[in-house]
Amino acid sequence: MARANIFNVQRFSIHDGPGIRTTVFLKGCPLKCIWCANPESQKMSPELYNVKTHCIGCGACIESCQHGTLFFGKSGIEIDRSKCHACGVCASECYSGALKMMGEERTVDEIFREIEKDTVFYDNSGGGYTLSGGEPLLQAQFCLELVEMCKNTGFHGAIETSGYGDTQDLKQLARMLDLVFFDIKEMDDRKHRSFTGVSN
Ligand code: SF4
Ligand code: SF4
């Protein structure tokens, strides 16, 4: 069974397709759009995320880190990314939830069970699930297995993609899904490179 790095499973989503949906955010993206709504999704590997407004200034994280990564800056806790090993120890010590680990390896079966929990909402609202990211095509095998499993239950399935992946994977997914949000960022290649870091 395939595994993927997932950074969020958002229940009761209402902006990622029809009805009430569960949106599965896959971590990792080949693009670096300057307007990215989820910059914490760009790197494939897990990373430490800092919500400064939740910090209560207790300093527990600084004491817990064995690598001297964290320190108090002008606006709260700062992370020296060059020293961070993404072990998650500080996040588990952070009482207020200001520090969190983004990204966790999950199996197809685990995510299917998360999606399945809201069946009653899908049935009553015409909703379903949406694969998002990051770029889902980067972890295509996981998506294919999950979509196949969901297809057998009749859940409405959607994907949000820039298309920046293997065309055969996208075609195979599109055949099984009900809806594809295909996000063409820019038709002009020069502008595309400047806005996203890659060619269109
Ligand atoms: S994730 Fe680990 S290495 Fe990184 S700051 Fe926290 S405790 Fe230190
Ligand atoms: S443990 Fe959490 S709340 Fe305490 S200083 Fe660190 S980030 Fe802030």
- Residue-by-residue pLDDT tens, the chain, 200 positions: 899 999 999 999 999 999 999 999 999 999 999 999 888 889 999 999 999 999 999 999 999 999 999 999 988 999 999 999 999 999 999 999 999 999 999 999 999 999 999 999 999 999 999 999 999 999 999 999 999 999 999 999 999 999 999 999 999 999 999 999 999 999 999 999 999 999 99
Residue 105 alpha carbon to ligand 1 centre in Å: 18
Atom 4 (ligand 2) nearest CA: 58
Cross-strand pairs, 131: 24, 159
Please give the full DSSP string across 64-97, using - where no structure is assigned.
H-TT--EEEETTEEEE-TTT-----HHHHH-TTS
Residue 11 alpha carbon to ligand 2 centre in Å: 27
pLDDT at 18: 98
Which of 54, 61, 72, 93 has most ligand 2 atoms within 8 Å of CB, for mutation? 61
Q: Which of 98, 24, 10, 21 has its CA nearest to residue 62?
A: 98
**Ligand 2 pocket, Cβ-based, cut-off 6 angstroms:** 55-61, 77, 93-94, 96, 98-99
Which class is 47-102 in CATH?
alpha beta
pLDDT at 27: 96
Residue 88 alpha carbon to ligand 1 centre in Å: 6
Question: Is the Cβ–Cβ distance between 92 and 129 less than 8 Å?
Answer: no
| Domain definitions of the chain by residue range | 3-41+105-196, 47-102
Architecture of domain 3-41+105-196: Alpha-Beta Barrel (3.20)
Atom 6 (ligand 2) nearest CA: 61
Residue 126 alpha carbon to ligand 2 centre in Å: 41
Backbone dihedral angles phi then psi of residue 138, each to the nearest 5 degrees: -65, -25
